[in-house]
Amino acid sequence: MINEWFHTAGTLARDGFDSVVDARIEGWAHTGFRSVTLGDASGLAVPSAPAGATAEDRLPTSVDLPAAGVERVIVPLAGETFTVDYTLSDGTTGSQELTGRTSVFHGPADCLYLPTGASATLSSPAGRIAVAEAPTEETRPVQFMSAAEVPVELRGSGISSRQVHNFATPAGLDCVKIIACEVITPGGNWSSYPPHKHDEAIAGSESRLEEIYYFETAVSRGCRAPAEADPFSLFSTYSSAAGEITTSATVRTGDIALVPFGYHGPLAAAPGYDNYYLNVMAGPDEERVWLISDDPAHGWVRDEWEDFEFDSRLPYETSKEK
């Protein structure tokens, strides 16, 4: 079915969270994701709220993450301050303050890694926060990474220029399974391109990874859009030998695309509208590594990047106002 693996904002709302992806979705096993809006949502740069709520509603200022057999990475999406109070599986307790950002288009934010078996309470007077998850029985220590420590990568060139925050890739936090990053694509540019896949275990060239895309969209920096402007992007997936999948979707803030297998990309940010997505990946392979195979029909495009200049609009940083 077309868009079988695509979920519009609010359709995955559950248990006080704006969205929840976990093994309760049929055919999904290796990754998880949660997003939640806390407190006064009216002042957030890109507001969202659970189904039935509006941006003007004052929501609960805290939400609980129950203990479970999953490791977690917690990252603010929008809002100034957040507190994570946690209890580890051995009874050890702790608390970590996280500094957020104006929006996901204003540079990286602080993030926190919690090992499997931990429970936590997330609190903020006004903010939105995301949680990446992956089942595992192995443990790692609690890890804090400040926004200034997040590895920022400028990838591609020309209209394929994009900005990547590698906060939970192997270059960032030491996770057991989770590979997570944020990608900023300015209006008119393409990312997740060339289309690629990671659904076979081929030593040294491809790894098996489920992937979650959580999207946000906004009017591009410097544009003076009318109040009725409707930021959007386009996203697609298509089948590989591992399975049949077809996504051909218009994406907006809060939408989620799941990629259990198959080729995915491109993400095309419409002119005038910037795109953000948070990727969460994990899989059954023993090694935590992101190895991909380009669609043979399109992989040649990478070689063309050397002939174009990188988009001067990037990087998007916290200090730059929209």
Residue 140 phi/psi, 5-degree rounding, is -135, 160
Measure the CA–CA gap between 35 and 13, rounded to whole angstroms. Answer: 9
pLDDT, tens digit, for every residue of 246-255? 999 999 999 9
Residue type, 41: A
Measure the CA–CA gap between 322 and 167, rounded to whole angstroms. Answer: 23
Residue 316 belongs to some domain of the structure? no
Residue-number span of the structural domain to which 101 is assigned: 6-302
257 pairs with which residues across the strands?
6, 213
Across the chain, mean pLDDT equals 94
pLDDT the model gives residue 42:
78
Residue 184 belongs to some domain of the structure? yes
Evaluate whether 291 touches 206 at the Cβ level (below 8 Å): yes
Q: Which CATH number is 178's domain given?
A: 2.60.120.10
Q: Give yes or no for residue 167 having a pLDDT over 70.
A: yes
Give the chain's domain count: 1
* pTM across the whole model: 0.95
Q: Token pair of 169, please?
A: 């890739």
Residue type, 187: G
pLDDT the model gives residue 230:
96
Report residue 257 CA to chain centroid gap: 10
pLDDT, tens digit, for every residue of 262-277? 999 999 999 999 999 9
Residue 1 belongs to some domain of the structure? no
Q: Which residue's structure tokens are 């890109």?
A: 46
Residue 111 belongs to some domain of the structure? yes
Q: Give yes or no for residue 290 having a pLDDT over 80.
A: yes
pLDDT, tens digit, for every residue of 120-162? 999 999 999 999 999 999 999 999 999 999 999 999 999 999 9
Q: Give yes or no for residue 56 having a pLDDT over 60.
A: no
Q: Token pair of 299, please?
A: 């992989």
Residue 87 belongs to some domain of the structure? yes
Residue type, 137: E
Measure the CA–CA gap between 267 and 277, rounded to whole angstroms. Answer: 9
Evaluate whether 115 touches 141 at the Cβ level (below 8 Å): yes
Residue 308 belongs to some domain of the structure? no
Report residue 299 CA to chain centroid gap: 24
Measure the CA–CA gap between 165 and 167, rounded to whole angstroms. Answer: 6
Confidence of residue 51 (pLDDT cuts 50, 70, 90): very low
Measure the CA–CA gap between 147 and 139, rounded to whole angstroms. Answer: 24
Report residue 253 CA to chain centroid gap: 12
pLDDT the model gives residue 59:
86
